[in-house]
A and B are shown apart, each in its own frame.
Chain A
């Protein structure tokens, strides 16, 4: 399924088949996010995930509805490389600490979904967090990293699925808040966008719609940048970071 601003889910095809195509294209990493799990209080579907992961020859990160160390442990045992935690970690930061102690920081991703409020300020989508006005998103991110999160995944919900470009100002600010690797998604529509995102301080850019939709009518076609394009990006990235 692929959504636009986390709404209007569209079926993009058999997941196993999609993973096989992504293997052939030697995709760097796969994020599987179940954005309804927490709302529905659903535990991850391990049988299904195991089937998907067994096909993947790249690292897989899963997020959605992970509420405890035991669930994470089961996910690692079926071959998931990293777990992404959002709601449970915002409600209970010690969960990140427990997971990082048990599985190592590199396996624990703190994920945060942001959207702009009417004032233009970025707010966490997470309802639980909004109850506490003092919990600004910067605070949530730095607290998660202090607790041991090894990576932060930031989703710009306003642009998710829109292919309208990344918000580079937001990315620069995230990069100022934390020193662990940050992955940014929400808005990628071209390789120029990817480049701008890396330039603004992201360590990696994730994309969904950019890879699965094609043309003005959003026809489903799984694509991935050609090796030459990625090579160009890497050499550019090195130039920027070495400045």
Chain B
């Protein structure tokens, strides 16, 4: 892989962990608050509230850049970053970027029977089940013995709402979509940068498959 990946810094926290992971797997990167149009690969990490994230995307100009990527440019959203790529969320009133179909819903266990009440946010390690046949870059990392990924979120992408972009599922109560993607836009609900070897492997594979320098 030659060239740089661009890590989008919205100023709402936590970009260093992603940069550190890229360093560990030998991928050159640069981090930018200002929109960069010529990059082959973008990472959109994010922690925090949906509306705050959308506001930061618009104010910085990144919303416009990400909405006009050409097919050889790939963007991967992580956690809130994944949610911002979708059409919207129950968490806020802002419209999402809409690069992927679907809206996020809040985990609700209020009406569940006592023994089925789970905690919100869904926080901790969990597994990912591939939903599509033979998705080489995803299969390897999620199929490893003891494979697990670190999740922290209160809103989820509902399963079977847009099967064409649903790539991986995770269970918290019911199953939800933890990996989304289509063509050159992907999202991970978990944090690959906090998921040890399994996250590194996944990031390495998605870069190998989609990075066009």
Interface residues, chain A, with chain B CB atoms under 8 Å away: 23, 26, 28, 50, 53-55, 57-59, 73, 76-82, 101-107, 150-151, 179-181, 203-204, 227, 231, 242-243
Contacts and interface: CB of A to CB of B under 8 A. Distances in A.
Given A102-B48, A105-B121, A179-B119, 14 more contacts: A28-B124, A57-B24, A76-B14, A77-B11, A77-B13, A81-B152, A101-B49, A103-B47, A104-B47, A105-B154, A106-B154, A107-B47, A203-B119, A231-B146
16 contacts: A57-B193, A57-B194, A57-B195, A58-B196, A78-B16, A79-B16, A81-B14, A81-B152, A81-B191, A104-B49, A106-B154, A107-B13, A107-B152, A181-B123, A203-B124, A243-B115
A77 B146 contact: no
Given A26-B196, A77-B15, A79-B17, A227 B146 contact: yes
B191 A59 contact: yes
B160 to A, nearest CB: 24
Contacts of B123: 106, 150-151, 181
Contact of A181 (B48, B115, B119): B119
A28 B16 CA distance: 19
A58 B115 CA distance: 30
Which 9 interchain pairs have the tightest Cβ spacing? Answer: A76-B13, A79-B16, A106-B121, A79-B17, A106-B152, A59-B194, A54-B20, A26-B196, A57-B196
Interface string B1-45: 000000000010111110011001000000000000000000000
A104 B154 contact: yes
**Which secondary structure dominates chain B's binding surface?**
mixed
Given A50-B16, A106-B123, A150-B121, A81 B194 contact: yes
Contact of B125 (A28, A81, A82, A231): A28
A103 B48 contact: yes
Contacts of B95: none
Interface string B136-176: 00000000001000101110000000000000000000000
Contacts of B14: 76-77, 79-81
Contacts of A103: 13, 47-48
A231 B146 CA distance: 9
A54 B16 contact: yes
B82 to A, nearest CB: 14
Given A104-B49, A106-B123, A181-B123, A53 B150 contact: no
Nearest to B9: A77
Interface residues of B, number: 33
A53 B17 contact: yes
A82 B52 CA distance: 18
- Among A28, A57, A242, max chain B CB count under 10 A is at A57
Contacts of A204: 124
Contacts of A54: 16, 20
Contact of B196 (A23, A76, A107): A23
Contact of B124 (A57, A78, A179, A181): A181
A104 B193 CA distance: 19
Contacts of B154: 104-106
Interface in B108-138: 115, 117, 119, 121, 123-125
A222 to B, nearest CB: 16
A37 B9 CA distance: 29
B64 interface: no
A59 B20 contact: no
B60 interface: no
- Among B154, B191, B196, B200, max chain A CB count under 10 A is at B196
A26 B197 contact: yes
Contacts of B197: 26, 57
B96 interface: no
A104 B91 CA distance: 11
Contacts of B194: 57-59, 81
Interface in B174-206: 191, 193-197, 199-200
Contact of A79 (B20, B124, B196): B20
- Among B13, B21, B200, max chain A CB count under 10 A is at B13
